[in-house]
A and B are shown apart, each in its own frame.
Chain A
C-alpha cells in the first residue's frame, strides 16, 4: 500500500491575518499618542513697551502673581474669562487685547488668557510682562 499524500488543510492560514492585525494595532497605538498635544499660535511680544499699541482701543487682561486674572481691572474667575473678554470687547473686533503677565504668574494662566481673547473674537492679541501692577 502507498501512503496517501497528506492533504493540505483547506482554507487560509491564520498567520498573515494575525500579522496584519498586529500591524494595525501597533499603528493605531503609535498614532493615537500624537493626538494629545495641540498647537496655539501666539505673536511674539515687542521687546520694548513702546511698541505696544497705546491708544484707547485696548482691552487689558492682567495675570496677577497670586494666580487671579483681571479683565479691564475687574477680577474674573477663570471659567468666566471668555465671557468677560467678550463683554469688554462689546462686539468690536478692531480692539486689541493686551495680556500683561505679572512676575509670578503662571504659563497656564497665560495660555487661558490667550485662548479667551481668541475665542472672544479679538483679531490682535498683544503680550507683555510687567514687574508689578499698581492697584
Chain B
C-alpha cells in the first residue's frame, strides 16, 4: 500500500484573522470617536484668526451664540449671570481652565461680560477658539 501525504490542514485560527481585523477597526473607531467632544449645544461660526497658541485640549468649554447667550452644557443663561454660575460650574468641572467658543457675530460686549464673570470666579486667562484664516 502506498502512503500519500495527507493534505495539510489549515490551522483553524487562520479563519479568525478577518474577524479580528474588523474588531480592531471597530475598536479604533470607537477609541477615536470617544475622544471627540460631545455634540455642541448650539452651532457657532468661529471667528477667523491667525495666532495659534499651543494649548492642550481644555477641559471646560463654554459657548457664546450669535445672540449673546452663554451655553453651559445644555443650559442657556444671559451673560450677566455668568459670574454667579461660573463658580459652581468650575467647581463641578474641577478646573479653572476654560475655552470659549464664541460666534463671530456675537456681541463683543457680551463676550467681555462673560470674561468678567470668569474673572470673578478666579479665572485669569481664557482661551478663545478661532478658525484658521484662509
Contacts and interface: CB of A to CB of B under 8 A. Distances in A.
A40 B29 contact: no
B127 to A, nearest CB: 5
B106 to A, nearest CB: 4
Contacts of B131: 36-38
Contact of A105 (B36, B109, B125, B130): B109
Nearest to B7: A5
A106 B105 contact: yes
Given A38-B131, A44-B125, A106-B104, A23 B53 contact: no
Interface residues of B, number: 52
Contacts of B42: none
Nearest to B52: A38
A6 to B, nearest CB: 8
A10 B7 CA distance: 16
Contacts of B108: 63, 101, 105-107, 109-110, 129
Main SS class of interface, B: mixed
Contact of A44 (B64, B105, B126): B126
Interface in A19-62: 19, 22-23, 26-27, 30-31, 35-47
Interface of A: 2, 5, 15-16, 19, 22-23, 26-27, 30-31, 35-47, 63, 101-112, 114-115, 118-119, 127-129
Interface of B: 4, 7, 17-18, 21-22, 24-25, 28-29, 32-33, 36, 46-55, 58, 64, 99, 102-109, 111-113, 115-116, 118-120, 123-132
